[in-house]
Amino acid sequence: MESKRQQKFAGVIQKDLAEIFQREGMNYLPNTLVTITRVRVTPDLAIARIFLSFFNSANTTLALQTIKAHAGEIRYKLGSRIKDQVRIIPQLEFFVDDTNEYVERMDKLFDKISKEPRQPDTDD
């Protein structure tokens, strides 16, 4: 369970990173929309785990590697935005948020199940 302080700090990071990706995301991943779905911060506020969702990207693994390669630059830009609000700028760890793929896979399974013919109920 995250404390209020962690949640508030995560919200600040999410908002500022979203603006960074919106303005400068094309430099890292052309023709790809990067969405920050969730930010988790450690209790000491030293590490921020950022979950990303990529739209219009054929290879999410490659997209994530590209973002990780630019993590230092992204952290610097984040630091310039939040330097007056925090003592230390957290290390950024990026992960793929595969919730959308999971939901789509589950929907397909449920559709498949609903299309199968029902077996008659047997009363013993």
49-86 pLDDT tens trace:
999 988 888 888 899 999 999 999 999 999 999 999 88
Which three-class secondary structure state does DSSP give residue 64? helix
User: Is a pLDDT exceeding 60 seen at residue 124?
Assistant: no
Report yes or no on 86 lying in a domain: yes
Residue 111 sits in a domain whose CATH number is 3.30.300.20
Q: What is the pLDDT of residue 110?
A: 84
The single-letter code of the amino acid at 90 is P
Choose between 99 and 73: higher pLDDT: 73
Look-up of token digits 């935005």: 81
Dihedral (Cα; 55, 56, 57, 63), 10-degree rounding: -50
Q: How far apart are CA 64 and CA 58, in angstroms?
A: 12
Closest CA to 49 of 14, 23, 84: 14
Counted domains in the chain: 1
Can you give the pTM of this predicted structure? 0.78
Q: For residue 60, what are the domain limits?
A: 4-115
Q: Which has more pLDDT, 109 or 101?
A: 109
**67 is a domain residue:** yes
* pLDDT at res. 8: 93
